[in-house]
Amino acid sequence: MTRRYDQIIVIDIECTCWEGKTPPDMEHEIIEIGICPLRPDTGERLERRSILVKPQRSTVSAFCTQLTSLTQEQVDQGIPFADACTILEKQYRTRQRVWASYGDYDRQQFERQCAAWGVPYPFSPSHLNVKTLFTLIRALRHDVGMAQALEIMQIPLEGRHHRGDDDAWNVAQMLHLLLNERREMPHNGSHG
C-alpha cells in the first residue's frame, strides 16, 4: 500500500469516563471521534468533523457530560464503533496516511478497543505524537496538556476543550505551526 503525504489526519477522541475509579461493570470506550485533515504543505485545515459513537459497554456519567458536554441521549444517536472505523479508513484513507493526535492516549485507546471488539485497526503505523513533537521542538523538560501547549504557542483555543472536533481542529493548527517552526530552524552540519 502506497503511503500518502498529502494530508495528516488529526484525530482527537472523547471516551466514557468517571470521577475516580471506573465502575466494575464499565470500561472506557470511544464516544466521539474528532477529525481534522491537515495539508502539511499549506497548513490548511480541510474539515472539522465529529463522529458520535454509540457506547456498547458503558454509559455516559454526569462527570463525563460535565467534561465533554456529551450526554447519553446524544451518543445513543451515534453509530457503532466498527462503522466509525470504516469511515476513517474509506473517507480519510487512514491506513495510507500519517495520522496525529495530542499524546498517545488516542492511539492506545483505538488499539485496545479494536483488539477487544475484533474490529480491524483503521490506521497506518505512521502515528505522529504532537505532544512529544511540541516538547522536543520547544526543548521543554516535561510535556504539558493540550490547552497549556496552545497557551505557550499563543494560539487561542477555538471551540470547547474536550470535544473531539474542536480539539482536533486546535491540534491541527498547533501541528502546522510546529512543522513551520521546525522548517525555519537553522540546520547545523551537512545532510547526506
In the structure grid, which three cell numbers stand for residue 106, read together? 488516542
pLDDT digits (tens, 9 = 90+) for 15-40: 999 999 999 999 999 999 999 999 99
User: What is the pLDDT averaged over residues 157-173?
Assistant: 97
In the chain the beta strands, taken as DSSP E runs, fall at 4-15, 30-38, 49-52, 97-101, 127-129
The answer, yes or no, to whether residue 192 has pLDDT greater than 90, is no
The answer, yes or no, to whether residue 181 has pLDDT greater than 90, is no
The answer, yes or no, to whether residue 190 has pLDDT greater than 60, is no
The answer, yes or no, to whether residue 119 has pLDDT greater than 80, is yes
Q: What percent of the chain has a predicted confidence (pLDDT) above 90?
A: 91
When the pLDDT of each residue in the chain is averaged and rounded to a whole number, the result is 94
Confidence grade of residue 185 (pLDDT, cut at 50, 70, 90)? low
User: What is the pLDDT averaged over residues 28-54?
Assistant: 97
CA distance 10 to 12: 7
Phi (first) and psi of residue 19, to 5 degrees: -80, 125
pTM of the model: 0.94
Residues 6+ positions from 81 with CB-CB distance below 8 Å: 29, 30, 53, 54, 56, 113, 117, 119
Q: In DSSP terms, which residues pair with 127 in a beta bridge?
A: 99
User: What is the pLDDT averaged over residues 141-161?
Assistant: 96
CATH of domain 4-184: 3.30.420.10
Nearest to 179 by CA among 42, 13, 9: 42
CA distance 17 to 68: 10
Q: Cα separations (Å) of 188 from 1, 170, 182, 185, 191?
A: 35, 31, 13, 9, 9
Confidence grade of residue 70 (pLDDT, cut at 50, 70, 90)? very high
Q: Torsion angle, CA of 176/178/179/184, rounded to 10 degrees?
A: 120
Q: What is the pLDDT of residue 189?
A: 54
Nearest to 59 by CA among 43, 70, 51: 70
The answer, yes or no, to whether residue 191 has pLDDT greater than 90, is no
Q: What is the pLDDT of residue 188?
A: 58
